[in-house]
Each structure stands twice: as structure tokens, then as C-alpha cells.
Amino acid sequence: MIIVYPQGQSNSWQGAPYSAPGVNDVEFTQELIANLTASYCIDKTRIYVSGQSNGGGFVGTLACDAVMSTQIAAFAANSGAFYPGGTDANCVPTAVHVPCSPGRAHVPFLEIHGNADQTISYTGGSHNNECMPDIPTYIQEWASLDGYSGGGNITTSLGNGNMMYQFGQSVNGTLGVLTHIMVNGLGHAWASNFNGFSASPAVMSFLNQWSLNTPL
């Protein structure tokens, strides 16, 4: 694998209210991928993105983009800050809509979040003057986008109060095109053997299931 760690302007990524004004990070990512695929031997059907916090939110921005969602095989966000735009006036986290128009159906997406996150709250609410969705609402929106809202999900206990929710499956039977893992007691962090759960192997396992050629 080739792993690339890009750096956002002003230590931020597009989508957050504090991100660098006038910077198009979606276009930057598209140009970065074009440069890398031209310079190295890369399987263009197996390109993935993952991020934490504002980086996790930007993963969501890329997944929602009509072009990038067709060039990136799968997406993984951890403690994602999914800013919807607008203000936090009369904030109702369970009613927040995050604009999203992916360019393909059934986008593989993983979201990991701690239910004790005090920065990007699992239950949503006002943050940086925007009304953040609660995470179950955000996942249900993705379920609708992926075409799985009518079929419910498969709920699995991972032990110690950690839960996994999987929506949809590929034609070849792989479960969890949309997967959400709630880590019990985790704050705003990337879990490393926290309460019996580690994020890195979960992310790698999820991403490795998918390519742009996976029948969905």
C-alpha cells in the first residue's frame, strides 16, 4: 500500500467553519490523486480516504462529492465533524440535514464514534456556531442515500458496550456497505485498544473489502 498524509491549509479541511477561506480541498484532493496515479503504480479502483475529527468530516465531504465519490472506492471517518453549514439557531440535532450528492449509488462508508465524545458530540448540538447532527441521524441520512433506509440494519454487539450497525451488502455477500461503530466510553480520540476496540484494524478491514469494481 501507498499511504499519503496531506496537510490542510491552516491545519484545517474544507467544510469546517474555521477552515481557510477560498481553499478548495476537494479540488486539491482530486489533483493529488491525479499526480500520485501518474507518478506511481497505483490501482485506481482501490483508492481510499480516512480521517479523524475535521479530517473525518472532510472524508464525508469527499464521499458526498459527485466526482470524488466515483474516484474513491471507500471512505472511513473517525469522530467525524460533519458540519452542515448554516447557524445553530433553534438547533435540533435529530433534524439536521447535511447536504450530500454522491455520484454513485451504494457508497461504502464507515463511521466510528465514541458516545463520550465531548468535542463532536455523539448526540450532536451547537458547535462552532453550527448545529451538528447527532450521529445516528447522520448515519440514517447515509442509509437513505445508499438506498438502505427501508431495510433496517444488522446490529451486532462487539462487547463491552461497543456496538456495530451495518446497512446493506454487496452482490457477493459482503455485509455493511454502510457501517457505523459506536465505541462505548470513548471521547474525541482514535481508539487504540480502548475498551476492547481499536480503530485502525477496523478501518483497514473495512476499506480492504471494497474496490470500484465491487458489485453493489
197 conformational bin, left if phi > 0, alpha if psi -120 to 50, beta if neither: beta
Grid cell 467553519 in the structure block, residue: 17
Residue 2 CB neighbour total at 10 angstroms:
9
Residue 39: pLDDT over 80:
yes
Domain ranges of the chain: 9-208
The pTM of the full predicted model, rounded to 2 decimals, is: 0.97
Rounded mean pLDDT, 189-208 = 98
> Does the structural domain 9-208 have CATH classification 3.40.50?
yes
| Spatial separation of the C-alpha atoms in residues 215 and 173, rounded to whole Å | 10
> How does the average pLDDT of the chain come out, rounded?
96
Q: What is the pLDDT of residues 91-115, one digit of tens each?
A: 999 999 999 999 999 999 999 999 9
Interstrand relation of 109-114 and 175-183 (parallel, antiparallel or unpaired):
parallel
Query: 177 with 146: CB under 8 angstroms?
Result: yes
- Sign of the CA dihedral with 182 first, then 185, 188, and 194 last: negative
